[in-house]
Structures are given as C-alpha cells and as structure tokens.
Amino acid sequence: MEAAVTTSPGVARRVVQVGVAALLTATLAGAAEAPAKETALLEKLRHRIEAVDARLDGVLGVYVEDLAGGSRIEFRADEGFPTASSIKLAVLYELYRQAQEGRVDLAEVTRPPARRVRGGGILQELGDEVRLSWRDLAVLMMGWSDNEATNVLVRRVGMEAVNARLDGLGLSRTRLRRLMMDLEAARRGEENASTPREIARLAAFVARGEGLPPEAARDLLAVATVADGGSAFRRGLPTGQRAVSKPGALEGVRCEAAWVDIPGRPYAAAVMTAYVRHEADAETAIAEISAAVYDTFDRLARSSSLGRIISERDSAK
C-alpha cells in the first residue's frame, strides 16, 4: 500500500500558491521604482488577470506596459501565439515607413484584383472596377479588417520588407509568413505569429509613429485608430476612448494588440489566446482584461501621488 502524504492546511495553501505562481509565470516587473501604493494597485490588477486565466478553457498570454511610469505586467509574455489579423499592424507600419522613404505614394490609386479572398472586409462585395488609394486600402485593412486589402498591401510593400522592419524594431519573434486566408501556407506551418510583449510594443510603435516625421505620424495614428467593429478589447473601454486596437480571430484563437491614450498615463497591451475551447469565452476574457487594465490606469491618471482620485467636480476640502 502506498503511504499517504499529508500536510497542514496552512502548508497546503502555501504549496498551492507557489505551484500556481510557477505555472502561470505571471510577474509584475519594473515596479521597484513605483510608489508602494501604486505597486499594490498594479499587483491587484495582476491578480484580476490571473482570475480571468483560471476561468478560461484555453491558454492566455498578457503583456501590459505603463508607457509613462515604466511598470509592466507580464503573463506568458514571451510565449509565441498566432496573431491572426493583429499582424496587420506590421503591414500598416511598413506602408507608412516606405511612404516616408519615397517608395510608396499613399495617394496613388490602384485597382485590386477581380478575384478576391473572403473572410472579412468590404472589397469582396465591391465591383471589379473599383479603384482605391494605398491609404484607402490601409483604412479598410484596419477598420474593417479587409483581407483582400491586406493582401494587396502586403504584395505592394513585400513580406520580407515587413519582417526586416520588425527586426529593426527589435521584434524578431513577430513574423508575417503568409497572406490572409492562405490555408495551404497555414497547413505548412507558415503561421503569422508574435508574443504578447512584442505585439503590444508594435502597437505602441505605430501609435507614436516611430521613425516618422510628425505629420506622417499623425496620419498613421489616424488610420490606426479607426475602430474595428470586431474589437473585444474596445468593449472594455469607454465609448470614444482613443485607442489603437487590432483584433485577430482564427479557430481556437482570439487575440488583440492595443495602445490606449489615457492623458498622462498611456499604456500598451496585448491579450493573446490559443487552444480555446469556446472562442466567445476568449473574446469575453479579452474584454474583461481590457476593462480591468483601463480601470486601473484611469485611476492612476486621475490620482495624486498619495492616491486621492481627483475629478473635475471635486472641490477643495
């Protein structure tokens, strides 16, 4: 007969806590420089993310970076995940960098091919004679996640150029390997991929127009912030909140990369999932995490260094 192993309730709880922490590898980084109360609030946010992970029947990765204070929440932040349409941020960024280099004229008009991939967007519904500028195609790619518009842009700027640009940004694990709706390439393992850390940082690079002069950076941001109606991340934000958010959806996969412009406390974030049993649950998880992150950073933005939340309707007391 096997010997039974018993522990006291207190020891058992400690073993479980240590085991869960090791399994989830959730860490709060960069908080040493932050005030103790602020660090405590961010730690509570990490616990809220852990609770979402515990309920999701799938695998969750999260990266949140405080672009003002430098603190980070990392939760499987360096695991590779499929990006689905979130990779379109990389195509958009490359388009604008090539325009700045004089290799693309954003106002130039082109006619998309008559045979168009489906799976989302507007071009699949338009006639063969439609003509659009490269910028128009970028708007369709971002706001309507148009797959054919994306493929036209990828062929124009070049897949290798996109990946070389990502390397230059230090995002070597973010890869564009196939066109949209190319199932044969996906079966060969040529999946578009990134990590939560890298795709969140890509959203931040796009938001600030990394390497672009101010006018071009403003136009890039205008296109990047066209709201995608399929964004679960935006469901966690107040109506009208300015944000870059690009969702992605595949079988068993939901993900989103985002930058949120809270005055004085902007942040970049990514939520990526895989092996999801029910994809609607993953979308709910993304929305819930987005709302929790926004709530935390909004409070930090409106608070004094001592933690008093100050609103316009407050009077001095």
Q: What is the 3-state secondary structure (H, E, C) of 239-292?
A: CCCCEEEEEEEECCEEEEEEEECCCCCCEEEEEEEECCCCHHHHHHHHHHHHHH
What's the pLDDT at 225?
A: 97
What's this model's pTM, rounded to 2 decimal places?
Answer: 0.86
Torsion angle, CA of 182/135/208/244, rounded to 10 degrees?
-60
11-20, 28-37, 101-110: least confidently modelled range: 11-20
Q: Is the pLDDT of residue 4 over 60?
A: no
Q: Per-residue pLDDT averaged across 12-26, rounded?
A: 42
Considering only the top CATH level, what class is 27-84+159-301? alpha beta
Distances (CA, A) of 40 to 11, 158, 170, 215: 25, 46, 31, 39
E strands present in 7-137: 26-29, 59-66, 72-75, 81-82, 109-110, 132-133
Percent of the chain with pLDDT over 70: 85
CA distance linking residue 119 with residue 147, whole number of Å: 7
* 150-182: pLDDT as tens digits: 999 999 999 999 999 999 999 999 999 999 888
- Residue 193 CB-half CA count within 13 A: 12
Q: Is the pLDDT of residue 25 over 60?
A: no
What's the pLDDT at 310?
A: 84
CA distance linking residue 190 with residue 177, whole number of Å: 5
The domain limits of the chain are 27-84+159-301
Mean confidence (pLDDT) of the chain: 88
Comparing CA positions, the residue from 225, 189, 182, 192 lying closest to residue 90 is 192
